[in-house]
Amino acid sequence: MFNYETIGNYAKFGPNSLYETSYHHSELPKIMQRKEEKSGFSFHPDPYPNQNLFYRSDNASLASLGVPAHTFATVQIDNDSYYHTVADEVETLDIQNIVSSIQAIALGAKSIVTGKDTPSRIPKLER
């Protein structure tokens, strides 16, 4: 399961990067990164574990059933003054970062969609 959240600006890892919640709980991140090696795009573990982003997003209910489910994000929670505010308007977003993030996820997921790669199921997650 691919859940895109707050990909409107650069991640703390710089341009052409995303982070994934529950990074170490399935093979999905490894598959994604392997497909990106030539593109220069990189996937990273969630840099904000204290924010509990995994359980605050749509992927948690599927992961609790053992489905490889991740959220892909770029938001710098500690620096983004627009995060979850009414001032978060399209003018505050980097549209090119949104486009490159979606393209990277699509490229990384292609082998999964075509059946060449299958991330293994993960143990059911509990809070």
Which pairing describes strands 17-20 and 2-5: parallel, antiparallel, or unpaired? unpaired
In terms of Cα–Cα distance, which of 49, 85, 80, 59 is closest to 5?
Answer: 59
Asked whether residue 63 is domain-assigned, the answer is: yes
Helix (H) or strand (E) holding 95: helix 95-113
Which residues constitute the domain of residue 15? 2-113
Asked whether residue 125 is domain-assigned, the answer is: no
Asked whether residue 121 is domain-assigned, the answer is: no
Instruction: Dump pLDDT digits (tens) for 46-97.
Output: 999 998 888 888 888 888 888 888 889 999 988 888 887 888 889 999 999 9
Asked whether residue 60 is domain-assigned, the answer is: yes
Asked whether residue 108 is domain-assigned, the answer is: yes
Q: How many domains does the chain have?
A: 1
Asked whether residue 13 is domain-assigned, the answer is: yes
Asked whether residue 127 is domain-assigned, the answer is: no
Q: Give the global pTM.
A: 0.84
